[in-house]
Protein backbone atom coordinates (compact mmCIF):
# COMPACT_ATOMS: atom_id res chain seq x y z
CA UNK A 1 0.00 0.00 0.00
CA UNK A 2 0.96 3.64 -0.36
CA UNK A 3 1.61 4.07 3.37
CA UNK A 4 4.22 1.34 3.64
CA UNK A 5 5.94 2.41 0.42
CA UNK A 6 6.12 6.05 1.46
CA UNK A 7 7.00 5.69 5.11
CA UNK A 8 9.05 2.54 5.32
CA UNK A 9 12.49 4.10 5.10
CA UNK A 10 12.01 7.10 7.36
CA UNK A 11 13.66 7.35 10.77
CA UNK A 12 13.01 9.72 13.68
CA UNK A 13 15.45 12.47 14.51
CA UNK A 14 15.94 15.18 17.12
CA UNK A 15 17.38 17.99 14.98
CA UNK A 16 14.60 20.47 15.62
CA UNK A 17 13.37 21.44 19.05
CA UNK A 18 10.59 23.62 20.45
CA UNK A 19 11.34 27.20 21.41
CA UNK A 20 13.66 27.88 24.32
CA UNK A 21 11.97 27.11 27.61
CA UNK A 22 12.61 24.67 30.50
CA UNK A 23 11.05 21.80 28.54
CA UNK A 24 13.00 22.44 25.34
CA UNK A 25 15.72 20.02 26.44
CA UNK A 26 13.28 17.13 26.09
CA UNK A 27 13.75 15.23 22.83
CA UNK A 28 10.88 15.20 20.41
CA UNK A 29 8.91 11.97 20.58
CA UNK A 30 9.77 10.04 17.44
CA UNK A 31 7.26 8.81 14.91
CA UNK A 32 7.49 5.02 14.84
CA UNK A 33 7.19 3.05 11.62
CA UNK A 34 7.42 -0.51 12.96
CA UNK A 35 4.80 -2.95 11.81
CA UNK A 36 3.59 -3.37 15.39
CA UNK A 37 2.84 0.29 15.98
CA UNK A 38 2.11 1.49 12.45
CA UNK A 39 -0.36 -0.78 10.62
CA UNK A 40 -0.79 -0.47 6.88
CA UNK A 41 -4.11 1.26 7.37
CA UNK A 42 -2.12 4.10 8.99
CA UNK A 43 -4.64 4.38 11.81
CA UNK A 44 -3.08 6.55 14.51
CA UNK A 45 -2.98 4.76 17.83
CA UNK A 46 -5.45 6.03 20.43
CA UNK A 47 -3.15 5.11 23.29
CA UNK A 48 -0.46 7.50 21.99
CA UNK A 49 -1.43 11.14 22.58
CA UNK A 50 -0.14 12.82 19.44
CA UNK A 51 0.95 16.14 20.86
CA UNK A 52 4.09 18.15 20.52
CA UNK A 53 6.18 19.24 23.48
CA UNK A 54 7.09 22.49 25.20
CA UNK A 55 5.42 25.64 23.91
CA UNK A 56 3.60 23.74 21.18
CA UNK A 57 2.10 21.37 23.75
CA UNK A 58 0.97 24.27 25.91
CA UNK A 59 -0.71 25.86 22.91
CA UNK A 60 -2.40 22.58 22.10
CA UNK A 61 -3.69 22.26 25.66
CA UNK A 62 -5.31 25.68 25.36
CA UNK A 63 -6.86 24.96 21.98
CA UNK A 64 -10.46 23.82 21.40
CA UNK A 65 -9.22 20.58 19.85
CA UNK A 66 -10.36 17.62 21.88
CA UNK A 67 -10.24 13.87 21.46
CA UNK A 68 -11.39 11.81 18.52
CA UNK A 69 -14.43 11.26 16.36
CA UNK A 70 -14.63 8.44 13.86
CA UNK A 71 -15.13 8.17 10.12
CA UNK A 72 -16.43 4.85 8.82
CA UNK A 73 -15.76 3.43 5.41
CA UNK A 74 -15.96 0.05 3.76
CA UNK A 75 -12.79 -1.37 5.28
CA UNK A 76 -11.86 0.39 8.51
CA UNK A 77 -12.64 3.07 11.03
CA UNK A 78 -10.20 5.99 10.78
CA UNK A 79 -9.84 8.55 13.51
CA UNK A 80 -10.59 12.21 12.92
CA UNK A 81 -9.46 15.10 15.08
CA UNK A 82 -12.33 16.40 17.20
CA UNK A 83 -12.76 19.91 15.84
CA UNK A 84 -15.68 21.84 14.36
CA UNK A 85 -15.39 20.63 10.77
CA UNK A 86 -18.43 22.68 9.73
CA UNK A 87 -16.75 25.99 10.53
CA UNK A 88 -13.22 25.71 9.21
CA UNK A 89 -11.72 28.99 8.07
CA UNK A 90 -8.35 29.60 6.48
CA UNK A 91 -6.34 29.81 9.68
CA UNK A 92 -3.55 27.70 11.10
CA UNK A 93 -4.38 24.72 13.31
CA UNK A 94 -1.49 22.80 14.88
CA UNK A 95 -1.38 19.18 13.71
CA UNK A 96 0.69 16.14 14.72
CA UNK A 97 3.77 15.81 12.54
CA UNK A 98 6.09 17.73 10.26
CA UNK A 99 8.71 16.54 7.79
CA UNK A 100 12.29 17.80 7.84
CA UNK A 101 15.48 17.35 5.84
CA UNK A 102 18.67 19.40 5.66
CA UNK A 103 21.64 19.79 3.35
CA UNK A 104 24.70 22.00 2.90
CA UNK A 105 25.09 24.60 0.18
CA UNK A 106 26.21 22.85 -2.99
CA UNK A 107 25.05 19.47 -1.71
CA UNK A 108 22.07 17.19 -2.23
CA UNK A 109 19.26 16.57 0.20
CA UNK A 110 19.46 13.18 1.94
CA UNK A 111 16.45 11.14 3.03
CA UNK A 112 14.19 13.19 5.29
CA UNK A 113 12.41 12.40 8.53
CA UNK A 114 9.10 12.97 10.28
CA UNK A 115 9.04 14.43 13.76
CA UNK A 116 6.48 15.81 16.14
CA UNK A 117 5.19 19.21 15.11
CA UNK A 118 6.74 22.03 17.14
CA UNK A 119 8.69 25.25 17.00
CA UNK A 120 12.12 25.25 15.39
CA UNK A 121 15.38 26.92 16.34
CA UNK A 122 17.28 29.14 13.92
CA UNK A 123 20.41 31.19 14.35
CA UNK A 124 19.67 34.93 14.43
CA UNK A 125 22.10 35.06 11.52
CA UNK A 126 20.18 32.52 9.42
CA UNK A 127 20.04 33.43 5.74
CA UNK A 128 16.26 33.28 5.65
CA UNK A 129 15.96 35.79 8.51
CA UNK A 130 18.57 38.26 7.28
CA UNK A 131 18.37 38.09 3.51
CA UNK A 132 14.99 36.48 2.81
CA UNK A 133 16.49 33.37 1.22
CA UNK A 134 13.37 31.26 1.33
CA UNK A 135 10.62 29.72 -0.81
CA UNK A 136 7.32 28.08 -0.04
CA UNK A 137 4.71 26.01 -1.84
CA UNK A 138 1.05 25.30 -1.22
CA UNK A 139 -1.08 22.31 -2.20
CA UNK A 140 -4.03 20.39 -0.82
CA UNK A 141 -5.19 16.91 0.12
CA UNK A 142 -8.86 15.87 -0.03
CA UNK A 143 -10.66 12.94 1.59
CA UNK A 144 -12.94 10.84 -0.58
CA UNK A 145 -16.14 9.18 0.57
CA UNK A 146 -14.37 5.81 0.85
CA UNK A 147 -11.74 7.29 3.18
CA UNK A 148 -8.88 7.41 0.69
CA UNK A 149 -6.99 10.67 0.28
CA UNK A 150 -6.16 12.52 -2.94
CA UNK A 151 -3.31 14.89 -3.69
CA UNK A 152 -3.57 17.28 -6.63
CA UNK A 153 -0.58 17.58 -8.97
CA UNK A 154 2.17 17.52 -6.30
CA UNK A 155 4.88 17.06 -8.93
CA UNK A 156 3.99 20.50 -10.33
CA UNK A 157 4.73 22.08 -6.95
CA UNK A 158 8.02 20.18 -6.83
CA UNK A 159 9.04 21.49 -10.25
CA UNK A 160 8.08 25.06 -9.34
CA UNK A 161 10.12 24.87 -6.13
CA UNK A 162 13.14 23.66 -8.08
CA UNK A 163 12.82 26.60 -10.49
CA UNK A 164 12.51 29.01 -7.59
CA UNK A 165 15.46 27.46 -5.79
CA UNK A 166 17.68 27.99 -8.84
CA UNK A 167 16.69 31.67 -8.91
CA UNK A 168 17.37 32.04 -5.16
CA UNK A 169 20.71 30.15 -5.20
CA UNK A 170 19.40 27.29 -3.09
CA UNK A 171 19.64 23.50 -3.35
CA UNK A 172 16.25 21.83 -3.74
CA UNK A 173 14.79 18.36 -3.18
CA UNK A 174 14.30 16.27 -6.29
CA UNK A 175 10.77 15.92 -7.61
CA UNK A 176 10.63 12.39 -6.19
CA UNK A 177 11.87 13.51 -2.77
CA UNK A 178 9.35 16.34 -2.68
CA UNK A 179 6.38 14.15 -3.65
CA UNK A 180 7.35 11.34 -1.26
CA UNK A 181 7.77 13.86 1.57
CA UNK A 182 4.31 15.29 0.87
CA UNK A 183 2.81 11.80 0.91
CA UNK A 184 4.51 10.89 4.18
CA UNK A 185 3.43 14.11 5.89
CA UNK A 186 -0.20 13.77 4.80
CA UNK A 187 -0.42 10.12 5.84
CA UNK A 188 1.10 10.87 9.24
CA UNK A 189 -1.49 13.64 9.74
CA UNK A 190 -4.43 11.90 8.08
CA UNK A 191 -6.76 12.44 11.04
CA UNK A 192 -6.60 16.15 10.14
CA UNK A 193 -7.83 15.67 6.57
CA UNK A 194 -11.42 17.02 6.70
CA UNK A 195 -14.38 14.76 5.97
CA UNK A 196 -15.64 14.89 2.37
CA UNK A 197 -17.14 18.27 1.54
CA UNK A 198 -15.88 19.94 4.73
CA UNK A 199 -12.61 21.37 3.45
CA UNK A 200 -9.11 20.16 2.69
CA UNK A 201 -5.73 19.63 4.29
CA UNK A 202 -3.49 22.52 3.28
CA UNK A 203 0.12 21.41 2.78
CA UNK A 204 2.89 23.98 3.18
CA UNK A 205 6.40 22.95 2.04
CA UNK A 206 9.15 25.41 2.99
CA UNK A 207 12.71 25.71 1.71
CA UNK A 208 14.93 28.11 3.61
CA UNK A 209 18.49 29.15 4.18
CA UNK A 210 18.79 27.96 7.78
CA UNK A 211 22.58 28.29 8.08
CA UNK A 212 24.21 31.33 9.73
CA UNK A 213 25.63 33.95 7.37
CA UNK A 214 26.66 37.52 8.14
CA UNK A 215 27.82 38.95 4.82
CA UNK A 216 25.47 38.92 1.85
CA UNK A 217 25.89 35.42 0.42
CA UNK A 218 23.98 32.17 0.05
CA UNK A 219 23.49 30.43 3.40
CA UNK A 220 25.81 27.47 4.17
CA UNK A 221 22.91 25.17 5.16
CA UNK A 222 19.32 24.65 3.98
CA UNK A 223 16.22 23.14 5.54
CA UNK A 224 13.26 21.66 3.70
CA UNK A 225 10.22 21.39 5.95
CA UNK A 226 6.57 20.46 5.43
CA UNK A 227 3.70 21.17 7.82
CA UNK A 228 -0.05 20.87 7.28
CA UNK A 229 -3.28 22.42 8.54
CA UNK A 230 -6.96 21.68 7.86
CA UNK A 231 -8.65 24.61 6.10
CA UNK A 232 -11.95 25.82 4.74
CA UNK A 233 -12.48 28.79 2.39
CA UNK A 234 -9.69 31.32 1.92
CA UNK A 235 -11.88 34.41 1.58
CA UNK A 236 -14.44 35.15 4.28
CA UNK A 237 -16.99 35.39 1.50
CA UNK A 238 -16.51 31.67 0.84
CA UNK A 239 -17.53 31.03 -2.77
CA UNK A 240 -19.53 34.26 -2.84
CA UNK A 241 -18.08 36.95 -5.14
CA UNK A 242 -15.15 38.99 -3.86
CA UNK A 243 -14.61 42.72 -4.37
CA UNK A 244 -11.24 43.92 -5.64
CA UNK A 245 -9.57 47.30 -5.94
CA UNK A 246 -6.94 48.00 -8.59
CA UNK A 247 -3.67 49.29 -7.12
CA UNK A 248 -1.98 51.74 -9.49
CA UNK A 249 0.84 53.14 -7.33
CA UNK A 250 2.34 50.19 -5.44
CA UNK A 251 3.56 47.18 -7.40
CA UNK A 252 3.99 43.53 -6.60
CA UNK A 253 6.89 42.71 -8.94
CA UNK A 254 9.32 44.16 -11.47
CA UNK A 255 10.84 42.77 -14.68
CA UNK A 256 14.00 40.84 -13.86
CA UNK A 257 12.94 40.42 -10.24
CA UNK A 258 11.48 37.44 -8.39
CA UNK A 259 7.77 37.87 -9.14
CA UNK A 260 7.72 34.65 -11.14
CA UNK A 261 8.92 32.43 -8.27
CA UNK A 262 7.28 31.70 -4.95
CA UNK A 263 9.81 33.43 -2.74
CA UNK A 264 8.72 34.64 0.69
CA UNK A 265 9.54 38.29 0.07
CA UNK A 266 6.96 38.58 -2.71
CA UNK A 267 4.17 38.27 -0.19
CA UNK A 268 5.43 40.69 2.45
CA UNK A 269 5.53 43.32 -0.30
CA UNK A 270 1.76 43.20 -0.84
CA UNK A 271 0.74 43.59 2.80
CA UNK A 272 0.65 47.41 2.80
CA UNK A 273 -1.74 47.72 -0.15
CA UNK A 274 -3.77 44.70 0.95
CA UNK A 275 -4.22 46.02 4.49
CA UNK A 276 -5.34 49.42 3.18
CA UNK A 277 -7.81 47.77 0.80
CA UNK A 278 -9.31 45.55 3.49
CA UNK A 279 -9.68 48.56 5.79
CA UNK A 280 -11.90 50.09 3.07
CA UNK A 281 -14.02 46.94 2.78
CA UNK A 282 -12.41 45.32 -0.25
CA UNK A 283 -11.49 41.64 -0.31
CA UNK A 284 -8.09 42.05 -1.94
CA UNK A 285 -5.93 44.02 -4.41
CA UNK A 286 -5.41 43.60 -8.16
CA UNK A 287 -1.97 44.76 -9.31
CA UNK A 288 -0.91 46.33 -12.59
CA UNK A 289 2.43 46.04 -14.37
CA UNK A 290 5.03 48.49 -13.11
CA UNK A 291 6.23 49.68 -16.54
CA UNK A 292 3.06 50.81 -18.34
CA UNK A 293 0.78 50.73 -15.29
CA UNK A 294 -2.08 49.53 -17.49
CA UNK A 295 -1.80 45.76 -17.85
CA UNK A 296 -3.20 43.30 -15.34
CA UNK A 297 -0.74 41.17 -13.40
CA UNK A 298 -2.32 39.29 -10.49
CA UNK A 299 -4.14 39.58 -7.18
CA UNK A 300 -2.06 39.39 -3.97
CA UNK A 301 -2.04 35.59 -3.97
CA UNK A 302 -4.18 34.63 -6.98
CA UNK A 303 -4.07 34.69 -10.76
CA UNK A 304 -6.77 36.65 -12.61
CA UNK A 305 -9.00 35.68 -15.55
CA UNK A 306 -11.33 37.86 -17.67
CA UNK A 307 -14.23 36.46 -19.71
CA UNK A 308 -15.74 38.22 -22.72
CA UNK A 309 -18.07 36.52 -25.22
CA UNK A 310 -16.99 33.10 -23.90
CA UNK A 311 -13.32 33.87 -24.61
CA UNK A 312 -11.19 33.52 -21.48
CA UNK A 313 -8.15 35.79 -21.19
CA UNK A 314 -5.41 35.78 -18.56
CA UNK A 315 -2.10 37.66 -18.30
CA UNK A 316 0.78 35.78 -19.92
CA UNK A 317 3.59 34.46 -17.73
CA UNK A 318 6.61 36.69 -18.42
CA UNK A 319 8.62 36.65 -15.21
CA UNK A 320 6.57 39.00 -13.04
CA UNK A 321 3.55 36.72 -12.53
CA UNK A 322 3.60 33.49 -10.55
CA UNK A 323 2.87 30.46 -12.78
CA UNK A 324 0.00 29.18 -10.68
CA UNK A 325 -0.72 25.46 -10.76
CA UNK A 326 -4.46 26.09 -10.42
CA UNK A 327 -4.10 28.66 -13.22
CA UNK A 328 -2.44 26.07 -15.43
CA UNK A 329 -5.11 23.50 -14.55
CA UNK A 330 -8.01 25.87 -15.25
CA UNK A 331 -6.55 26.72 -18.66
CA UNK A 332 -6.34 23.01 -19.52
CA UNK A 333 -9.85 22.32 -18.18
CA UNK A 334 -11.29 25.29 -20.09
CA UNK A 335 -9.75 24.16 -23.37
CA UNK A 336 -10.96 20.59 -22.79
CA UNK A 337 -14.47 22.01 -22.31
CA UNK A 338 -14.28 23.83 -25.65
CA UNK A 339 -13.46 27.37 -24.47
CA UNK A 340 -10.97 29.58 -26.24
CA UNK A 341 -8.23 30.67 -23.82
CA UNK A 342 -5.79 33.49 -24.54
CA UNK A 343 -2.61 34.09 -22.55
CA UNK A 344 -1.62 37.66 -23.40
CA UNK A 345 -1.35 41.20 -22.10
CA UNK A 346 -4.74 42.14 -20.66
CA UNK A 347 -5.36 45.89 -20.34
CA UNK A 348 -7.11 47.17 -17.25
CA UNK A 349 -9.71 48.83 -19.49
CA UNK A 350 -10.91 45.38 -20.54
CA UNK A 351 -12.40 44.99 -17.06
CA UNK A 352 -14.93 47.69 -17.87
CA UNK A 353 -16.96 45.58 -20.29
CA UNK A 354 -16.04 42.04 -19.22
CA UNK A 355 -18.82 39.47 -18.79
CA UNK A 356 -17.08 37.72 -15.89
CA UNK A 357 -13.90 38.00 -13.86
CA UNK A 358 -12.54 35.30 -11.58
CA UNK A 359 -9.40 34.41 -9.62
CA UNK A 360 -7.58 31.11 -9.26
CA UNK A 361 -5.13 29.76 -6.71
CA UNK A 362 -4.44 26.78 -4.48
CA UNK A 363 -6.11 28.41 -1.50
CA UNK A 364 -9.13 29.85 -3.32
CA UNK A 365 -9.36 27.27 -6.16
CA UNK A 366 -11.74 29.45 -8.24
CA UNK A 367 -13.22 32.61 -6.75
CA UNK A 368 -15.76 34.75 -8.66
CA UNK A 369 -15.20 38.51 -8.66
CA UNK A 370 -18.31 40.52 -7.90
CA UNK A 371 -16.81 43.96 -8.48
CA UNK A 372 -13.61 45.78 -9.32
CA UNK A 373 -12.92 49.39 -8.41
CA UNK A 374 -10.40 51.31 -10.53
CA UNK A 375 -9.61 55.01 -10.07
CA UNK A 376 -12.81 55.47 -8.11
CA UNK A 377 -15.05 53.73 -10.65
CA UNK A 378 -16.73 50.49 -9.58
CA UNK A 379 -17.69 47.84 -12.15
CA UNK A 380 -19.93 44.97 -11.01
CA UNK A 381 -20.33 41.53 -12.52
CA UNK A 382 -23.11 38.96 -12.39
CA UNK A 383 -25.99 38.56 -10.00
CA UNK A 384 -24.11 37.89 -6.77
CA UNK A 385 -22.69 34.48 -7.60
CA UNK A 386 -20.61 32.54 -10.07
CA UNK A 387 -20.82 33.46 -13.72
CA UNK A 388 -21.70 30.72 -16.18
CA UNK A 389 -18.10 30.15 -17.28
CA UNK A 390 -16.44 30.31 -13.87
CA UNK A 391 -19.10 28.06 -12.32
CA UNK A 392 -18.52 25.45 -15.00
CA UNK A 393 -14.75 25.50 -14.54
CA UNK A 394 -15.05 25.47 -10.75
CA UNK A 395 -17.35 22.46 -10.85
CA UNK A 396 -15.18 20.45 -13.22
CA UNK A 397 -11.94 21.16 -11.34
CA UNK A 398 -13.23 20.65 -7.79
CA UNK A 399 -15.02 17.42 -8.67
CA UNK A 400 -11.77 16.14 -10.10
CA UNK A 401 -9.76 17.27 -7.05
CA UNK A 402 -12.20 15.60 -4.65
CA UNK A 403 -12.43 12.36 -6.58
CA UNK A 404 -16.06 12.86 -7.59
CA UNK A 405 -15.35 12.48 -11.31
CA UNK A 406 -13.01 10.43 -13.46
CA UNK A 407 -9.51 11.87 -13.59
CA UNK A 408 -8.95 11.85 -17.34
CA UNK A 409 -6.09 14.35 -16.88
CA UNK A 410 -4.10 11.99 -14.60
CA UNK A 411 -3.61 14.82 -12.12
CA UNK A 412 -4.52 13.22 -8.80
CA UNK A 413 -2.39 10.95 -6.60
CA UNK A 414 -4.32 8.55 -4.37
CA UNK A 415 -3.07 7.63 -0.91
CA UNK A 416 -4.44 4.52 0.81
CATH at residue 187: 3.30.470.10
Given this model, what pLDDT does residue 238 score?
64
> Residue 122 pLDDT > 80, yes or no?
yes
Please indicate, yes or no, whether residues 340 and 318 belong to a single structural domain of this protein. yes
Of the listed ranges 67-81, 89-103, 302-316, the least confidently predicted one is: 67-81
Tell me which residue range forms the domain holding 121.
97-232
- Could you tell me if residue 316 is inside a domain? yes
Say how many C-beta atoms besides its own lie within 10 A of residue 21's C-beta: 12
Weakest mean pLDDT among 56-60, 249-253, 332-336: 56-60
Are residue 295 and residue 263 in the same domain, yes or no? yes
Q: What is the pLDDT of residue 416?
A: 76
Q: Lowest mean pLDDT of 26-35, 98-107, 273-282, 309-318, name the range.
A: 26-35
Mean pLDDT for 274-290 is 97
The pLDDT of residue 399 is above 60:
yes
Pairing assessment for the beta strands 365-374 and 149-152 based on DSSP bridges: unpaired
Active-site positions read 262
Q: What is the mean pLDDT of the chain?
A: 85
Residue 73's pLDDT is 39
Q: Summarize pLDDT for 211-220 with one digit per residue, the tens.
A: 999 999 999 9
**Residue after which a domain boundary falls, among 200, 232, 264:** 232
Does residue 247 share a domain with residue 213? Answer: no
pLDDT over 70 (residue 153):
yes
pLDDT at 236: 66
397 and 270 fall within a common domain: yes
Confidence band, pLDDT 50/70/90 cuts, at residue 235? confident
pLDDT (tens digit, 9 = 90+) per residue, 70-83? 333 333 335 899 99
228 with 281, same domain: the answer is: no
Q: Report residue 168: phi and psi, to 5°.
A: -100, 10
- Pairwise pLDDT comparison (73 vs 342), residue with the higher score: 342
* 347 and 270 belong to one structural domain: yes
Specify whether 350 is located in the same domain as 312: yes
**Domain tally for the chain?**
2
pLDDT at 251 exceeding the cut of 50: yes
Please state which of the ranges 102-111, 269-278, 363-372, 376-385 shows the lowest mean pLDDT: 376-385
Residues 285 and 370 in one domain: yes
- Nearest of 323, 262, 250, 259 to residue 288 by alpha carbon: 250
| Residue 289 backbone class (left: φ over 0; alpha: ψ -120 to 50; beta: rest) | beta
* Same domain assignment for residues 257 and 384: yes
Looking at per-residue pLDDT, the higher value among 103 and 79 belongs to 103
pLDDT for residue 228 is more than 90: yes
pLDDT at 341 over 70: yes
Task: Calculate the alpha carbon distances from 364 to 178, 322, 409 in Å.
Answer: 23, 15, 21
133 three-state secondary structure: coil
Amino acid sequence: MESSAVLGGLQPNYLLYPSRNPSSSLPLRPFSFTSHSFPLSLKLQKQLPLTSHGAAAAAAAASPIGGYTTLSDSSETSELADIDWDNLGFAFLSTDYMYVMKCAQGGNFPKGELQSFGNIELSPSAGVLNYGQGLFEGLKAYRKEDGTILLFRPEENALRMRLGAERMCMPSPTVKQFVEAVKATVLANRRWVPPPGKGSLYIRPLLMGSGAVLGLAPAPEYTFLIYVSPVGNYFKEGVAPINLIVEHELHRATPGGTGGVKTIGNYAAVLKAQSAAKAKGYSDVLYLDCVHKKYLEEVSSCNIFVVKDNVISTPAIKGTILPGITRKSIIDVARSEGFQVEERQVAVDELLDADEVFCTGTAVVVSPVGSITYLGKKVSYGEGGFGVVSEKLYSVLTRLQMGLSEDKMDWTVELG
